[in-house]
A and B are shown apart, each in its own frame.
Chain A
Amino acid sequence: MKRRDFLYLTGISAGASMAASVPVFGRMISVEEALTPVDVTLKKRLADVALNAAKTNGASYADVRIGRYLNQVIATREKRVDNIANTESYGMGIRVLANGAWGFAATNNLDQDSIAKAAKMAAAIAKGNAKIMGDPVRLAPQKGYGEISWKTPIQTNAFEVPIADKVDLLLHVNSEALKGGAKYINSNLFMVNEQKYFASTEGSYIDQDIHRIWPTFTLTKIDASAGKFESRNALSAPMGMGFEYMQPLDSEKIKGGPVTLYKKRYDMLEDVREAAVHVDEKLKAKPIAPGKYDLVLDPSHLFLTIHESVGHPTELDRVLGYEANYAGTSFLTLDKWESRKFNFGSKEVQIVADKLEPGSLGAVGYDDEGVKCGQWDIIKDGILVNYQTIRDQAHILGLKASQGCCYADSWDSIQFQRMPNVSLQPGNVPLSAADMVKKVEKGIYMFGRNSYSIDQQRYNFQFSAQLAYEIKDGKIVGMFKDAAYQANTQEFWNSCVQRCDQSDYRLGGTFSDGKGQPSQSSAVSHGSPTTRFNGVNVINTGRKLG
């Protein structure tokens, strides 16, 4: 057995590690350094210095985040490695509430004087902001948890797998692509480990160890005589998991449809082999005739529609206007929620926010203001029933506690409201995707994320897919090209008529959801089963250049 096959099957292999090339996040460190965590006693001592200095400088409340953010990126192209980066960013952010306003300062010099100075600066900024603020900040009550910890339940720490083995795997993926006739293949592996320590003047000292992984590729073929090219991206999902995600398991595959689908284990080699065949089909696909179609949307595609049309408009800071100058506001205004009658979607639409779901990108024990995480309904039986809140917003909804949606992408970024995992629940009636397709007369079966765009209040959107199969009289008869669907959010979710059952439920997600000024990135998952939407407007996006 070749070493890369051994790695592929077990995920663990011995071998010399190598690291090279350009860092993309923070400071470049050796692989060995990444595996040595910072001592928790030291973190508590540093946090107390900051909390005490904040109180001395007039803070009515303060919290401290000591963050160590490790990132590893391996990027390859055809037969060569483009980039290997192993980086660390480490420092402390201090948030202070004084005179009813927030102030924030951060430092990467973790000596006593620098920490005290940063805490004093945060308090001074808070007092300065107090003079030009609106209403004073009202924090939902939050008990201190004492000294506790939480860890993503991983089986294999991806940072412990030798880089040489990961390179071998990606180059094997590339060689399979080239064998399948690909002209170009880019494959990448992204790994993240957030080691976060949170402490507050309310008596919480929370140590968390969070892991994420994302394998992906883009395979391209060229039809030079026709002057055409087509690509297909991986149908993997970024996950809140360790390297075990990279080890295929038959029980985590769904076979039998036009595409092999993956739950919590991914088979990158199998996916790239299928992609090579799919791109041939894409090059020969027939242009779609615009009109109304019934859409059968696979979770690898639907997650992004959920993210844009349900996740974002239910962010309370957008609803209130805090994102008006950048990400936008929301059509889901407070009066719609207060009425308890706003018909967001059909009765099939059951959307749950969940900060705990195993394997998801958003799963943490506690958020970045020390609130224990949980789950709650956002859309119940099609009706808008809740939003996403943090501690200084909870009172607006009459909630007694925050929903734990606070996040900062780095120790030197200010934490603010970010999206939890927002997922469409599976149906209660047993139904497979294959059986769903059988009932569709004129439809499109879509897989994978592609182009996506939605307005600043989240009414009008347009999405396209990696693969769009034509369904005719209950059968898949071929592939369409240039298909994109356009809809209004409320109309779209009211056209939701059928969901597959739990056995088809899968997570999709994004590693880099942007929001805020200066912009911050966050990672979030969206689960769903394969779901059917009737009579959606589909356009043809094909054009000709002169």
Chain B
Amino acid sequence: MAILSKEEAQAILKKVLSYAKADACEVSLNGSDGGNIRYARNAVSTAGQIDVMSLGVSATFGKKTGTATINEFDDASLQKVVKRAEELAMLAPENPEYMPPLGPQTFAESLTYNANTAAMTPETRADMVAKSLGVSKAGGLEAAGFLENSTRFSSIMNSKGLFAYNKSTNVSFSVTMRNKQGTGSGYVDQDFNNLSKMDTLALTKIAASKANGSAGAKAIEPGKYTVILEPLAASDMLGNMFRGFDARSADEGRSFMSKKGGGTRLGEQLFSENVNIYSDPLNPEIPGSTWSGDGLPITKTQWVQNGVVKNLSYSRYWAAQKNVQPLPFSRSIVMEGGNQSLEDLIKSTEKGILVTRFWYIRMVDPQTLLLTGLTRDGTFFIENGEIKFPIKNFRFNESPVIMLNNVEALGKPVRTGSGLIPPMKIRDFTFSSLSDAI
């Protein structure tokens, strides 16, 4: 029930709009169907299956908008939700930032749906988890993990004739492996649209190898080090930075993208010359939706080229204020790298630290985007091109903006979260104290 085809969604949306009396009306219809298994201490702890669908109606009179939602789809319920949205609109205050609905748009067909993933059952999940548990039991380790899959559809239609539909699948898996003594810990975390790419056995073996390899860590002095960030660690740092690519907060003077004396840093060299970042929802490794929630097409966009900020994202309202074209952001981020593997980056390092992942990252200073957090689940000392020994975890205080000015080398990008991110070799990364955590 929860996953409607394009035609089924369109039919419901048209019916809803036929009941509307407001000056403008926007309707959204979304559904998801999926399940999960959680395990810890080498045994399954919880499992669930969730199936939901909901309809939202925004009705506008002048600049007064009311929104109502419902999860029943008979004709009487559809009429009721439109009526309620219109009643709320009459009572609402005027929104000076209201933007009238967009007319029809053209969207590229997305690559987000995979039939194998959509066909996953509780048994598929149990088998995938059993493979992971097999590794931990055979290796005398303790596993705690989470496997989740979902199929979703989303669709919007408005009274100006715009209609958009997308169907997507996702499967995500993460596992933490710890040795029985509690002296070593390893982790992997992977997302795919396509189930056939997800290998819980191979991934768990990586986590197991990190757990064994990180046991008996030595303490070294905090300070500035050359680091090699695995794509997961690099992605943890960058996620916080992309939020800053919003033109409005930059124009308002409260972002690291704000320029001294007013305006934004658009067009400025903000990063090292080897930093190139774009988004592309049609990249088959990281497919994303080809339209945004407000009905704008999402297309390939260059954000940083040779270290220069090429674009900031503009909402429709802010774009109108600034007399530019609106530009939505996309989660399908690609940071370009080279052809070197993680091993190649290690080999080229005289003295440095390999970081598997970061943890508990929080903003310390929005002005400089200074972040703090800790290394976790496998931190290693590199000397003369080799991993020499595991080291105790560090707390860092570092800004991703400063980090991307200190790029020594970038490896081959791999899928991490919803992006393609390379392993990175960064000089002068600031570790400020040691942690006893394992």
Interface residues of A (CB under 8 A from B): 16-23, 27-28, 30, 80-81, 84, 102, 104-105, 108, 125, 128-129, 132-134, 167, 183-184, 220, 222, 224-229, 231, 320-326, 328-329, 331, 333, 412, 414, 451-460, 462, 464, 482, 484, 486, 488, 517-518, 537, 539, 541-546
Contact = CB atoms under 8 A, between A and B. Distances in A.
Given A129-B44, A453-B372, A517-B146, A22 B362 contact: no
B433 A20 contact: no
Contact of B92 (A18, A229, A329): A18
Contacts of B45: 322
Interface in B344-371: 359-370
B130 A132 contact: yes
A452 B363 CA distance: 8
B370 A19 contact: no
B197 interface: no
Nearest to B434: A460
A410 to B, nearest CB: 11
Nearest to B262: A224
B138 interface: no
A451 B368 contact: no
A455 B40 CA distance: 20
Interface string B70-110: 11000000000000100011011101110000000000000
B43 interface: yes
Q: 6 closest A-B pairs (Cβ-Cβ)?
A: A227-B260, A20-B92, A460-B435, A455-B437, A324-B144, A134-B43
A543 B365 contact: yes
Given A322-B45, A517-B146, A539-B397, A451 B174 contact: no
A118 B45 CA distance: 19
Given A541-B365, A543-B399, A21 B92 contact: yes
B405 A30 contact: no
B89 to A, nearest CB: 7
B435 A27 contact: no
Given A28-B67, A456-B376, A457-B437, 18 more contacts: A18-B91, A21-B66, A21-B67, A23-B68, A28-B68, A125-B48, A227-B258, A229-B258, A231-B254, A322-B144, A331-B436, A455-B437, A456-B359, A456-B360, A460-B434, A482-B365, A518-B36, A541-B364
Contacts of A323: 40, 144
Nearest to B123: A128
Interface in B363-396: 363-370, 372-374, 376, 393, 395
A108 to B, nearest CB: 7
A16 B91 contact: yes
A510 B144 CA distance: 27
Interface of B: 36, 38, 40-48, 50, 54, 56, 58, 64-71, 84, 88-89, 91-93, 95-97, 122, 126, 130, 133, 142, 144-146, 148, 174-176, 178, 182, 187, 252-254, 256, 258-262, 270, 359-370, 372-374, 376, 393, 395, 397, 399, 401-402, 405, 432-438
A196 B198 CA distance: 40
Contacts of B359: 328, 455-456
Contacts of B433: 460, 486, 537
Given A30-B84, A451-B364, A453-B360, A321 B68 contact: no
A18 B93 contact: yes
A227 B263 CA distance: 10
Contacts of B187: 325
A224 B69 contact: no
Contacts of A459: 435-437
Contacts of B71: 27, 108
Given A134-B42, A224-B262, A320-B41, A184 B365 contact: no
A324 B436 contact: no
A453 B175 contact: no
Nearest to B253: A222
A453 B47 CA distance: 30
B92 A132 contact: no
Contacts of A16: 91
Given A21-B67, A28-B68, A455-B374, A325 B145 contact: yes
A167 B84 contact: no
A20 B69 CA distance: 11
A452 B144 contact: no
B390 to A, nearest CB: 16
B56 A412 contact: no
B438 A326 contact: no
Contacts of A454: 360
A424 B319 CA distance: 50
A451 B363 contact: yes
B176 A184 contact: no
Contact of B146 (A326, A331, A464): A326
Contacts of B364: 451, 462, 464, 484, 541
Nearest to A103: B47
Given A184-B252, A452-B362, A226 B374 contact: no
A461 B359 CA distance: 12
A84 B142 CA distance: 47
A518 B148 contact: yes
Contacts of B436: 331, 457, 459-460, 488
B48 A28 contact: no
Contacts of A464: 364
Contacts of B360: 453-456
B41 to A, nearest CB: 5
A546 B271 CA distance: 9
A480 B97 CA distance: 38
A81 B261 CA distance: 29
Contacts of B130: 132
Contacts of B38: 517
A414 B47 CA distance: 10
A333 B126 CA distance: 31
Contacts of A462: 364, 372, 395, 397
Contacts of A20: 64-67, 88-89, 91-93
A321 B395 contact: no
A545 B368 contact: yes
Contacts of A455: 359-360, 374, 376, 393, 395, 435, 437
